Amino acid sequence: MLELRNRKVAERIVNQIKALHINLKIMHVCGTHQDTIVRYGLDHLLKTCGVEVIQGPGCPVCVTTPLEIQQAIALAENGVTIATFGDMVRVPAGDTSLEKVRAEGGDVRIVYSIDDARAIAETKEVVFLGVGFETTAPSTAVTVLDEPDNFSVLSFHRYIPPALDALLEMGEIKIDAILCPGHVSTIIGALPYVPLAEKYGIPHVIAGFEPLDVLMAVYMMAKQVQEGRHEVENEYVRCVNTEGNVKAQKVIGEVFEPADASWRGFPPIPQSKMAMRKKYAAYDAAEIYEDVLEGIEELPEPKGCRCGDVLRGVIYPQQCPLFGRVCTPSNPVGPCMVSIEGACNIEYRYKND
Amino acid sequence: MNTESKAFIVLGFLVHMCLAIPGQIAEIHGTKAVVDYGGITREADVSLVDVKKGDYVIVHAGFAIHVLNKKDAEETLKIFEEFFDHA
């Protein structure tokens, strides 16, 4: 059996990348990829091969906007029970956060899956914060389709391909290839990347999460660049089919429709957010609590925080003046230091421990 | 780092990150299944996949999103074998 952490195999791949004599800047959009890359030191290893890797807007909690965080806080302050994944409660908005509202008596529950939120709904009205890309959205959709009582969703779910499109269109940094996310691709398949590869003339390679998956995907991209190709290739065949998980795509399409939306650090990205269809308004917290949510003015980013630049891949975490000094995982200023999938949190955890 | 922060990191890891380790379906009850990760079992929703007892699945945020099969695993090996043939 192939051992996906075998050092000898890794060395052979690295040597092959070196032999291609290329200079590449690769972007990926996945916290788990970043975790693998930093944990195993692939960032430094790849630099010796002329390959730079940077994380883009691939952390759902991080790309959630200050306004969205403020909306969740407003609901909690108005006595609404909020159920959410752990990272969200610590994202600061101004001088508050869901965690602080909870400390002041707000009912904010941390859940491990949407099913835990449903269990709360058995005894009281609950709003679930729908955070995540195509990987997580199907679980929200399945739950809504089951028409649970006392249950609604404030959807912050987003689509990855429009964000890649916006980022490449902006052209703020030179990107030579895209390392496509593993489990987002399990859901959406390989086809949504084809128009992007063609439009921008750069390789897109889907990769798994083991160190050898990432190295092999980088080799596949490097080879494409050297041969002047710009195709969509799939290294993660054991978990990604060309057509993706069609059942999951169907439930997403049934419950959600694309809407224009801001992402933290980005101008509005067309058709990038999963808004709940009118048909499911009874489960849409944005409709149910419209009176609480309307008229909230978005607070500016925390002073000095450069999460926006990190999310656009313009700077590495260490280039933010707050990184590791003012801003740490136990005292985070911005979401990229809060979230386990954030580039700053990952960098801090593996390089400062 | 205080204990609470560490707990958040551990919890966050379980919830948010993509868990790439496959689990095996031990029991199925309607849309719910018991998934076995080498002795540790967790409940997962299986309404997004077609599964039977014994299948290996990838679970994300409590939902099975992919069923692994032997052919797919062999395809992965093929990518590496082709690399070694040409490298």
Q: What is the pLDDT of residue B80?
A: 81
> Which chain B residues touch A if contact means CB-CB below 8 Å?
1-2, 5, 8-9, 11-18, 20, 43, 45, 47-49, 58, 60-63, 65-66, 68, 72-73, 75-77, 79-80, 83-84, 87
Q: What is the pLDDT of residue A8?
A: 86
Q: What is the pLDDT of residue A35?
A: 95
Q: How far apart are CA A287 and CA A291, in angstroms?
A: 9
Number of domains composing chain B: 1
B12 within domain boundaries: no
- Phi and psi at residue A352, to the nearest 5°: -110, -5
B13 within domain boundaries: no
DSSP string, A74-131: HHHHTT-EEEE-GGGGG--BTTB-HHHHHHTT--EEE-SSHHHHHHHHTTS-EEEEE-
B8 within domain boundaries: no
In order of their start, the domains of chain A are: 61-159+244-293 (3.40.50.11740)
Distance between B71 CA and the closest CA of chain A, angstroms: 8
CATH number of the structural domain spanning residue B78: 2.30.30.140
Amino acid at B78: K
Comparing A13-27, A170-184, B4-18, the range with the smallest average pLDDT is B4-18
**Inter-chain residue contact A339 with B16, CB threshold 8 Å:** yes
Q: Look over chain A and give the mean of its residue pLDDT values, rounded to a whole number.
A: 96
Q: What is the pLDDT of residue A79?
A: 97
How far is C-alpha A121 from the chain's CA centre?
A: 27
Q: What is the pLDDT of residue B19?
A: 73
- This model of the complex carries an ipTM of 0.91
B37 within domain boundaries: yes
B10 within domain boundaries: no
For B32, the domain range is 19-86
Distance between A75 CA and the closest CA of chain B, angstroms: 22
**Inter-chain residue contact A35 with B17, CB threshold 8 Å:** yes
A91-109: per-residue pLDDT in tens? 999 999 999 999 999 999 9
Distance between A102 CA and the closest CA of chain B, angstroms: 15
Q: What does DSSP assign to residue A297?
A: P
A49 pLDDT higher than 70: yes
Chain A hits for B33, CB-CB cut-off 8 Å, are none
How far is C-alpha A122 from the chain's CA centre?
A: 30
B4 within domain boundaries: no
B11 within domain boundaries: no
Residue A21: name the closest of A225, A274, A312 by CA.
Answer: A225
Nearest to A186 among B5, B13, B66 (CB): B66
Q: What is the pLDDT of residue A3?
A: 66
- % of chain A with per-residue pLDDT over 90: 95
B3-40: per-residue pLDDT in tens? 444 444 343 344 446 677 789 999 999 999 999 988 88
Q: How far apart are CA A308 and CA A262, in angstroms?
A: 12
Nearest to A86 among B1, B8, B47 (CB): B8
- % of chain A with per-residue pLDDT over 70: 99
Distance between A7 CA and the closest CA of chain B, angstroms: 14
Q: What is the pLDDT of residue A6?
A: 80
Q: How far apart are CA A293 and CA A291, in angstroms?
A: 6
Q: What is the pLDDT of residue A134?
A: 98
Arithmetic mean of pLDDT, A290-301: 95
Residue A151: strand pairing partners: A126
B68 within domain boundaries: yes
Q: What is the pLDDT of residue B78?
A: 79
